[in-house]
Amino acid sequence: MNDRVIPLLDARRAAPIATPGAVASVGPVADGRGRYMRDLRISITDRCNFRCTYCMPKTVFGRDYPFLPRDELLSFEEITRIARIFVAQGVTKIRLTGGEPLLRRNIERLIEMLAAIPGLELTLTTNGSLLAKKAQNLRDAGLQRVTVSLDALDDPTFRKMNDVDFPVAEVLEGIAAAEVAGLGPLKVNMVVKRGTNDHAILPMARHFRSSPANAGHIVRFIEYMDVGSSNGWKLDEVMPSAEVLKLIGDEMPLAAVDPNYPGEVAERWRYLDGGGEIGVISSVTQAFCSSCTRVRLSTDGSLYTCLFATNGHDLRGLLRAGRSDDEIGAALGALWSERTDNYSEQRSAESTSLSTALKKIEMSYIGG
């Protein structure tokens, strides 16, 4: 098959953000459905060293793909300024994403800058390929936790899914290094794609049950989602979380656990024998739009109020136009107050036709 590049430049163009005539007071603002902004996910690079078929397939993200030039990326100073403005609007948690965030040069300096913001939980999601080398430096810089994406423990399946022939052993080394560095409790995310890696569910659950080597690690099994427009998503490749829970529970009995906080997207389950817990994320079969408190910032400073958005809002334009923090904060508050996103609920109600009808932004551009 020949590599085929599908340009996504139109999808990456963001609309200008209007600034209110009067500066609104700083503080949390509810959106149109009563949801507050709590969780900011910042994509710090649109590049990745994996080509996972459900996120950055080679047929689209080939050698000639037009990744963003460096001058279009937000600088560390711009990211930190934005973070402080979001915290003033009620954000309490920031997760650094990508692409693969550990590819961003001098990421430790950015983490030091963000860690200096009072009252902020600072986390990062990674594919784990560079984690063994960087874990201690990340912790020393002020990172609190990491989440590692790992879709199988058997090497043939893992290499097939990352599509760059990367060995699973090196990711496991990264997880071990993160544990030693104190970046826990670690979470391990497994995207489940029926017919591709569903056979790896039980081995994953068994491996990461509480033990001296994996104390406190939490695996979250994620339904394969129709994020972006390039992963060839099909409903029959979705394995519902209910099936995952039954498969695991039949061997290792489970009981439901209350969420850690309002708006937590993972449904928590604990092993009845005290062997720790797992989570399931069920965007396809059990939409959680009604409690979503997340907002996403792309690599080049576009703001997205939904993972399945078709367009963003140009926050970088306000920064580089010399707007004050108060003006930008007021603009964010006004934008959030008008938010009514509920894509997953609509998809559930309208079958899968909505997925193919919309040109959604790619996950590698705004983070998962």
Domain limits of the chain? 9-184+290-366
Chain centroid, CA 317 distance in Å:
24
Between helices 168-181 and 155-162, what is the axis angle to 10°?
Answer: 90
What are the start-end ranges of the E strands in 27-144? 39-43, 93-97, 121-126
CATH 3.20.20.70 fits 9-184+290-366, yes or no: yes
Chain centroid, CA 312 distance in Å:
17
pTM attached to this predicted model: 0.87
pLDDT tens readout for residues 309-340:
778 889 999 999 999 999 999 999 998 888 87
How far is residue 217's CA from residue 298's CA, in Å, rounded to a whole number?
29
Residue 251: HSE in the Cβ half-sphere, 13 Å Cα cutoff:
10
Amino acid identity of 345? E
pLDDT tens readout for residues 97-140:
999 999 999 999 999 999 999 999 999 999 999 999 999 999 99
pLDDT at 354: 45
Whose CA is closest to 155, among 140, 165, 146?
Answer: 165
Name the H helices within the chain: 9-12, 76-88, 107-115, 131-141, 155-162, 168-181, 201-207, 241-251, 315-320, 325-337, 343-349, 353-357, 363-366
Residue found under tokens 């937000």 = 74
Are the C-beta atoms of residues 105 and 131 closer than 8 Å to each other? Answer: no
Q: Give the N- to C-terminal CA distance of the chain in Å, as an integer.
A: 28
pLDDT, one tens digit for every residue, the chain (368 residues): 343 333 333 455 577 776 665 444 467 888 888 989 999 999 999 999 999 988 888 988 899 999 999 999 999 999 999 999 999 999 999 999 999 999 999 999 999 999 999 999 999 999 999 999 999 999 999 999 999 999 999 999 999 999 999 999 999 999 999 999 999 899 999 999 999 999 999 999 999 986 655 667 999 999 987 665 555 667 788 999 999 999 999 999 999 999 988 778 899 999 999 889 999 998 888 876 777 888 999 999 999 888 777 788 899 999 999 999 999 999 999 988 888 766 565 655 454 554 455 554 666 667 76
Structure tokens at 337: 């107050």
Whose CA is closest to 330, among 6, 7, 19?
Answer: 19
